[in-house]
Structure 1
Amino acid sequence: MTQTPGTTDDAPDPTTDRPDPTTDRPDPLRGSGLVDWRLAATAASRLVPPGPRAARGEVEGLVAELRTAAGRAVQPVAETARMETPPGTPPAMIVDRPGWIRANAASMGAMLGPVLDDVVAKKREADRARAQARGKELPELGATAQRVGSTITGTEVAGMLSWVSTKVLGQYDLAPQGTPRLMFVAPNILHAERELDVDPTDFRLWVAMHEETHRVQFTAVPWLREHVIAQARAVGTQILPEPDQMSQRLLDIVSQLPGVLRGETDITQVVATPEQRAQLAEVTAVMSLLEGHADVVMDEVGPQVIPSVAEIRRRFTERRKGAGNVDKILRRLLGMEAKMRQYRDGAVFVRAVVDRVGVDGFNAVWTSPETLPRPTEITDPQTWVARVHG
């Protein structure tokens, strides 16, 4: 976070926690080596702007208050959601943008490692079959070529990580490679509260409520984290084309990109077949539930804890709609507009179910993977109520 010109200490801010994949996280470079995740993290950290200017005292106050807000959010979320984070769960971590990038590069590498392993295995098998048909041996991929390929993809991932790291306020990192952790991205929260012109203390607590709800979801429901990771990996394995279909799929994607950029279709409609879109819909239904539940809880806590909650929600919703043209294009390409729909659809589902069967009745959703809402039930909550409650 950049300090204002008048300050005397220009050293890097020591008050933010900086996750380091070389220490508390395993090596994120794994699987086939198709992506150089270390390069991606390093390059993205160099590309990303540091965030809004702030005096050292303001930075230290922000970090301290975010830590306090994380603690203050625990009891209201537990009471509202009627779910509790088990004791011994790691405390929230306050990060800058490079810290978020490093953590997510590590997690993405761990999440995609098995998927990329499968891609490489399929390609090698296809190459071996073609070589045998020609009576030749399958050549080994040279180390240099492998490094060049992983460098190119690592650079491309860096651009994505750099941009996304300027948008995220907080996150519950599932960390397939290690210990899950709640994170708050301090410069983005400071930027958002200034842009929205809202009460900083209320806004920081409001953000903490949303992210604490995610932590409750994944810690109070023991099977949920592994279920979401397995679902994501399964969809990733299925959605990547077979080696002999790669060229045609790339042509199809390129031909449909103008429609994505104009907002006429979703990126998932471009990259996936109808069968794969059905699998994606299953994952989307779960993500809609998680995001919608967090939105409902953060708002249900109410003005007795966050006096300006209604004003924050109104301005924040308007902010989600108000992105500029370039920002909207990038959101469409990264599928982030679909995420905005997840908040809306999921919140409607949660409120409708609670209205019908109460909070305890809604919490039956966490019983097992079979009680999670199906894609058609997210937009038709009464069908979930009928299926689960009879």
Structure 2
Amino acid sequence: MNLLRSVRTVAEASGTGVVDWDRVGRAAKEGTDPGSLDLSPADRAGYASDVRDARDRLGSVGGISFAVPPTVEVQNRHHWIDANVETFRTVMAPVESHAAPAFPELSRIANTGTMSVLLAFLARNVLGQYDPLLLADEPDGDHGLYFVHPNVVRVADELDVSYPRFRRWIAFHEVAHAAEFGAAPWLPDYLESRMEDGVAAIAAGELDRDAFRELDAAMTAVEGYAELLMDRAFDDATDDLRRKLDARRSGGGPISRILRQLLGLGLKRRQYERGVAFFDHVADERGVAAAAAVWDEPTALPTDAEIDDPAAWIRRVNP
């Protein structure tokens, strides 16, 4: 890790775009320790076993059929940056296409620095990731399942929990997301359309509230259903893990808290809390398998109002 080199890379941002994405990736890696990827045979076997067990348990408990992505990678932090810089570029493309800064060179340097800092922050904190290839140039390609091994090891130690148990819990969480997208093949296109409509409106100086409201409701369902499956399918109680992770998320210094706000991680927590309450109610009333009806078709997703009134969703979709 070399922070001075990272700053120099940002200062040399060039090109015609609002962001120099090649230098974003380079600067993020130069400012981030990649971490050790020295996996023992037990580590490799453990990741593979955890993913297989999660697939079987989640499918059985949820009453759904899905395939684990063919791409399952155990990465270091630099690998994760390489895998995600293109996603950042694609998401920001509509905004960039409409931007006309008064001082383009200075703006490019500032934007490149901002994006590299955000990417580096995520690389140091992401534990696992299911990539459904949203907004990808080749949406029919292989979805990915990633584990950032140095972060998994470090956070298990910080939380004072068993590393194999924590690794397994992360695997269940990410495979639960794979289960959702496997059960709802229409979901990537649905999320893409809402994201594109919302971002395009912002780029045009407008706000498409309906698009963002529908996107928020869909992501709340994604977060809540995954937690429901995990709670009912994991080997043992997870209250201690959740409590310690919640304390970790709310901690950190002022810069960490600012970055979390910029990245919308506070919004994700709200989505998680509302989603968990919604699906717990549905599962208690109708069973875990009945909750999978949200993935039947886009109209089966709960509306924003129904998330806070799950009985209304039950009456409409699963009477």
- Scaled to the shorter chain, the TM-score interval is 0.7 to 0.9
In structure 1, the partner of 2:250 is 321
* Bigger mean CA offset, 355-364 vs 62-71: 62-71
Tell me what 2:173 maps to.
Answer: 210
The normalised TM-score by structure 1 is: 0.69
Kept after mapping to 2: 8 A contact 1:100/1:165 = yes
- Is this contact kept in 1: 2:37–2:150, CA < 8 A? no
CA distance in 1, matches of 2:29, 2:45: 24
Instruction: Name the counterpart of 1:74.
Output: 55
2: distance between equivalents of 1:220 and 1:148?
46
Counterpart in 2 of 1:299? Answer: 231
Deviation sequence 1:101-136 (CA, Å, 0-9, x none): 11111122233435544x26xx7xxxxxxxxxxxxx
The percent of aligned pairs where both chains have the same amino acid is 31
Q: Is the 8 A contact 1:285 1:373 kept in 2?
A: yes
Selected match of 2:182 from 204, 209, 219: 219
How many residue pairs match? The answer is 300
Cα distance between partner residues in 1 of 2:180 and 2:22? 30
Residue number among 71, 87, 94 corresponding to 2:74 in the alignment: 94
Q: Distance in 2 between matches of 1:96 and 1:55?
A: 6
**Does the residue aligned with 1:166 lie in a helix, a strand or coil?**
helix
State how far apart, in whole Å, the 2-side matches of 1:206 and 1:107 are.
26
Q: Please state whether the residue corresponding to 1:98 is helix, strand or coil.
A: helix
- The answer to whether 1:376 aligns with 2:305 is yes
Distance 2:38 2:275 in 1: 39
* 1:147-179 deviation line (CA, Å, top 9, x unaligned): 775454233211110112111111111322343
Tell whether 2:127 aligns with 1:169.
yes
Distance (whole Å) between structure 1 residues aligned to residue 112 and residue 47 of structure 2: 32
Equivalent in the alignment of 1:280: 212
Relative to structure 1, is the Cα distance of residues 323 and 381 closer, same or farther in structure 2, using a 3 angstrom cutoff? farther
1:279 deviates by 3.1
2:294/2:301 contact within 8 Å kept:
yes
Structure 1 residues 228, 55: CA separation in 2 closer, same or farther (over 3 Å shift)?
Answer: closer
| Deviates most, 322-331 or 365-374 | 322-331
Shift, 1:44, TM fit:
0.6
1:345 aligned to 2:308? no
Question: Aligned to 1:159, which of 102, 109, 117?
Answer: 117
5 Å-filtered alignment, 1:1-390, equals: 33-51=17-35, 56=38, 61-86=42-67, 89-114=69-94, 116-117=96-97, 119=98, 150-175=108-133, 176-178=136-138, 179=141, 180-242=143-205, 276-302=208-234, 305=235, 307=236, 309-390=238-319
Q: Per-residue deviation at 1:204?
A: 0.8
User: Which deviates more, 233-242 or 106-115?
Assistant: 106-115
Give the distance between the partners of 1:352 and 1:371, measured in 2 at CA: 16
Name the SS for the 1:373 alignment partner.
coil
Contact in 2 for aligned 1:39/1:151 (Cα 8 Å): no
CA contact under 8 A between 1:107 and 1:174: conserved in structure 2? no
Q: Which segments of 5 or more consecutive residues in structure 1 lack a partner in the other structure?
A: 2-31, 124-140, 243-272
Q: Please give the alpha-carbon distance, in whole angstroms, between the structure 1 residues aligned to 2:172 and 2:110.
A: 39
User: What is the deviation of 1:356?
Assistant: 1.9
Query: Quick one: which amino acid aligns to residue 168 of structure 1?
Result: V
CA contact (8 A) 1:196 1:315 kept: yes
Unaligned runs of 5+ in 2: 2-15
Aligned CA RMSD, in angstroms, stands at 2.8
Is the partner of 1:99 in helix, strand or coil?
helix
User: Would the alpha carbon gap of residues 77 and 61 (structure 1) be closer, same or farther in structure 2, given more than 3 Å must change?
Assistant: same
Q: Give distance in 1, aligned partners of 2:246 and 2:110.
A: 37
Q: What's the CA shift string for 1:313-349, capped at 9, x where partnerless?
A: 3322332333333322221232211111111111111
Deviation (angstroms), 1:285: 1.2
Q: Which letter maps to 1:103? A: A
How far apart, in 1, do the equivalents of 2:317 and 2:95 lie? 33
Q: CA deviation at 1:34?
A: 3.0
Q: Which amino acid aligns with 1:339?
A: K
TM-score, with normalisation over the residues of structure 2? 0.83
